[in-house]
Structure 1
Amino acid sequence: MTDYQPQPTQPVQPTQPAQPQAPQYPNAQQQSDALQYTQQYAPQYTAQADAPQYNAPQYPNGTPYPPAPQYPTQAQAPMPAAGQPYGMTSLGGWIGTVILSAIPLVGFILLICWAAGMGGAEHQDRRNWALAQIIVQVVAIVLVIIISAASGFSLMEMFDQSQY
């Protein structure tokens, strides 16, 4: 029976040297050893003289580009009161909105006003609701016209055939 003796392995050389982390040393001897190690091996981690240097972009004639313009910041919309979240209409506001929009001619005019944003910037939910209501009403009117026309033509055909 022979004793197993492992073969020494060749150290793998990294393609790029890793930057050492700054560890915490509990005693002065270890800190001194680390300082000596840093002084010995730190030069290989510095930039080489033949490394490319960054040059500011330039025009073809060699003059540098002007700096980017600094624009003022955009004005922010005013924040709502702390008791009510932004864009929320209260329950009473919704009850009034539904009642007013149910009035035949006045309601449609109010829907157009609210959809145009006349309810104020803080009532975006009412604006979106008014837009949806207008779209639904226009689609309903178009469908009624189409169904009425189709029914009218079929009724006319039925009465025309019964006269003969």
Structure 2
Amino acid sequence: MDHIQGETAPVMSLKDWVISVLISFIPIVGFIMLLVWAFSDSANPNKKNWAKATLIIFAAFFVLYLIFAFLFMGAIMSSAGLESMG
């Protein structure tokens, strides 16, 4: 079996993780930084994978938010339409 031999990524320290998470909490800057970390060739592979996973989770929650928003607005519009006819 062939093993890929190469350099391993340096371990991110606790301080690096705390700073990364805090930066990701900043509303617009955090999203941009997640994109940079996820698709940068120079980013630590651990941070790169974490950023990709975080973006996937954000996308899933955004889709769920849209579904519930449309359902809620549909219910509001439906009930408002029925009341105005009666």
TM over 0.5: yes
Task: Provide the residue aligned with 2:30 in structure 1.
Answer: 107
The aligned counterpart of 1:148 is: 69
3-state secondary structure, aligned to 1:89: coil
Identity of paired residues, percent? 30
Within the alignment, does 1:133 sit opposite 2:54 as a pair?
yes
Q: Which runs of 5+ in 2 are unaligned?
A: none
Equivalent-residue separation in structure 2 for 1:101 and 1:156 (angstroms)? 36
Normalized per residue, the structure richer in helix is 2
Matching of residues 86-101 of structure 1 within 5 Å: 86-101=9-24
> What amino acid does structure 2 have at the position aligned with 1:114?
W
Contact conserved, 1:111 with 1:131, CA < 8 A, in 2? yes
- Work out the number of aligned pairs and report it: 81
TM (normalized to structure 1)?
A: 0.46
Higher relative contact order (CA 8 A, sep 6+): 2
Q: Secondary structure at the match of 1:125?
A: helix
Which blocks of at least 5 consecutive residues in structure 1 are unaligned?
Answer: 1-75, 81-85
CA RMSD in angstroms comes to 1.7
Runs of 4+ in 1 over 2 A off after TM superposition: 117-120
